[in-house]
Structure 1
Amino acid sequence: MLKIDGITRRFGDVTALDGVSLEIGQGEFFALLGPSGCGKTTLLRILAGFETPDAGAVTLDGSDLLGLPPNKRPISLMFQSYALFPHMSVAKNVAYGLEREKLPKSEIKQRVSEVLETVGLAEHGNRRPNQLSGGQRQRVALARSIVKRPRLLLLDEPLSALDKKVRADMQLELKRLQHEVGITFVVVTHDQEEAMSLADRIAVFDRGNVRQVDQPVALYERPRTRFVADFVGANNLFEGTAGGQDALETEGFGRLPGTPLDGVEEGAKALLGVRPEKVRLGEPDDAKGLRGSVLDVSFYGGVSHLSVDVPGQPKPVLVAVQGASTTQPGAEVGLSWEPQDAVIIPVGQ
């Protein structure tokens, strides 16, 4: 539905976007994920019409989008701050865009009523924004965005102002609403958990470039670049050379088991990534794996995180185990994993 082709945007000496190309399908929940300053919000502003690219094209259903002014694009943008009118009621906030289009009052009333019902605010239509909780204000902003029935809804860090529990509830709510209203959602976020829980597909941005586009599980389990492996979730990274079909050859640790990505040539410089939950704790004299001493144990309710100092590894190895760990700081442990649980990535990608 949406095709972004070679979009470049520069601000003086800074290249915010460097030839970015993406394709987003009808009804898809698509996330733009990356650290601050990577270009994802600039791309969102270009789609909304608030920025003009230096090069490239954007088409919506095959028609040029960049030639249309912002108010003529079939797109809604939900701002990070929500930008609600404080002097207007919830219903008036939601109706504002429809009133500007001079639609019949009966149609406006019906559509506002329907969308407030959809977001669970049917009983709050007469309240002002300052009488609502953060989560409710977020729903009003969302209702105002979808009441115009856009082809595309852009969300800029939509949940960043909410506390953790409300944010988790609203993630489920956003996903439900997206399926219910059938609008294509594009969300900008630096929160990996948010992107992974919401999106059908994720584009990972780094310094104005797209490093990988994939479904959440594939992105997590099979990162194709060093940046993605390090940025998306916690990861233990080891450097060496590809040692065939199931190992990385390292100077300090010998052969470490792993599965190479397609295109990794034997003998080439490579990186092995293994997630903390895939690392097994064992006895320190276990000949199959690494050996180290436990630096710290942190309990997070359903899972414990252990930080293990392995001589020769610049960063501690992270291990995640279910429940409360009985291992104490200072204990000597062995670490191992199965080849299919680690991925070997070409260095330089």
Structure 2
Amino acid sequence: MLRIDGITRRFGEVTALDDVSLEIGQGEFFALLGPSGCGKTTLLRIIAGFETPDRGTVTLDGDDLLAKPPNRRPISLMFQSYALFPHMTVAKNVAYGLEREKLPRQEVKQRVGEVLETVGLSAHAGRRPAQLSGGQRQRVALARSIVKRPRLLLLDEPLSALDKKVRADMQLELKRLQHEVGITFVVVTHDQEEAMSLADRIAVFDNGRVRQVDEPVALYERPRSPFVADFVGANNLFHGTAGGLDGIKSDEFGMLAGTPLEDLEAGAPALLAVRPEKIELAGESANRGLKGSVLDVSFYGGVSHISVEVPGRDKPVLVAVQGAGSVEAGAKVRVRWKAEDAVIMAVDA
């Protein structure tokens, strides 16, 4: 539905977007994920019409989107701050865009009623934003965005102003609403958990470039570049050289087992990434694994994070286990993993 082709945007010496190309399908929940300053919000503003690219095209259903002013694009943008009118009721806030289009009063009333029912705010139609919780204000902003029935809804860090519990609830709500209203959602976020829980597909940005586009599970389990491996979720990274199909050769630890994502020339610089939950702890007397000592055990309710200091490695190896950890700080252990649970990639990817 939405095709972004070769978009480049520079601000003086800074290149915010560097030849970005993406395709987003009808009814898809698509996330633009990356650290602050990576270009994801600039791309959102170009789609919305608030920025003009230096080069490239954006088409919606084959029509040139860049040729249309912002108010003529079938797009709604939900701001991070929600930008609600404090002096208007919930119903008036939601109706504002429809009234500006001079739609019949009865149609406005009907559509506002329907969308407030959808977001569960019918009982709050007469209240003002100051009388609502953060989660309720977020729903008002969402209702105002979808009441105009846009082809595309852009969301800029939509949940960042909410506390953790409300944010988790609203993630489920956003997903439900997106399926219910059938609108294509494009969300900008730097929160990996948010992107993973919401999106059908995720584009990971770094320094104005797209590093990988994939479904959440594939992105997590098969990162295709060192940046994605390090940025998306916790990971244990080991540097070395490609050693064929068996793993990588490390100066400090010898041969480390892993599975290459692509054919790598023997001896080429390579990186092995293994997730904390894929690592197994064994006793010091076990016949394989890297020797180390437990630095710290942190309990997070359903899972424990165990930091293991391994001689020859700058950073501790992070191990995740279900429930409470069964080891204590100072314990001598070995850390090991299966070859199929670790991925190997080229360092210059």
Give the C-alpha shift of residue 287 in structure 1: 3.0
SS state at 1:15 partner: strand
Contact 1:5 1:21 in 2 (8 A): yes
Q: Does 1:55 align with 2:68?
A: no
Q: 2-side partners of 1:287 and 1:203: how far apart?
A: 41
| 1:186-197 equivalent positions in 2, closer than 5 A | 186-197=186-197
Equivalent residue, structure 2, for 1:160: 160
**1:185-209 deviations in whole A, cap 9, x for unaligned?**
0000000000000000000000000
Give the distance between the partners of 1:79 and 1:139, measured in 2 at CA.
12
In the other structure, the counterpart of 2:99 is 99
TM-superposition CA deviations, 1:112-164 (whole Å, max 9, x none): 00000000001110000000000000000000000000000000000000000
Residue aligning to 2:82? 82
- Could you tell me which residue of structure 1 aligns to residue 314 of structure 2? 314
- Between 280-289 and 64-73, report the one with greater CA deviation: 280-289
CA contact (8 A) 1:285 1:291 kept: no
277-286 or 219-228: which moved more?
A: 277-286
- Conserved? CA contact 1:202–1:213, under 8 Å: yes
Distance of 2:264 and 2:138 partners within structure 1: 45
Rounded to whole Å, the distance in 1 between the matches of 2:250 and 2:286 is 18
Alignment of 1:341 with 2:338, yes or no, is no
| 1:175 to 2:175 alignment | yes
Uncovered stretches (5+) of structure 1, i.e. residues with no partner: none
Contact 1:242/1:268, CA 8 A, preserved across alignment: yes
**Structure 2 residue 30 is the aligned partner of structure 1 residue 30:** yes
Question: Are 1:110 and 2:110 counterparts?
Answer: yes
Q: Secondary structure at the match of 2:112?
A: helix
Please, what TM-score do these two structures have when normalized by structure 1? 0.99
SS, match of residue 27 in structure 2: coil
Residues 236 and 274, structure 1, Cα contact 8 Å, conserved in 2: yes
Match of 1:71 in 2: 71
Q: Distance in 2 between matches of 1:76 and 1:265?
A: 48
TM-score (norm 2): 0.99
Specify the alignment match of 1:276 in structure 2.
276
The answer to whether the 8 Å contact 2:262/2:345 transfers is no
Shift of 1:269: 1.3
The alpha carbon displacement at 1:263 in A equals 3.0
Secondary structure of 1:45's aligned partner? helix
Map 1:132-281; keep pairs closer than 5 Å: 132-281=132-281
SS of alignment partner, residue 229 of structure 1: helix
Letter of the 1:226 partner, please give it: P
SS at match of 1:245: helix
- List, as ranges, runs of 4+ consecutive aligned residues in structure 1 with deviation greater than 4 Å: none
Q: Secondary structure in 1 aligned to 2:71?
A: helix
- SS, match of residue 245 in structure 2: coil
Q: Give the percent of matched residue pairs that are identical in Structure 1 and Structure 2.
A: 80
Counterparts of 1:98 and 1:318 in 2: how far apart (Å)?
53
Report deviation, 1:244.
1.6
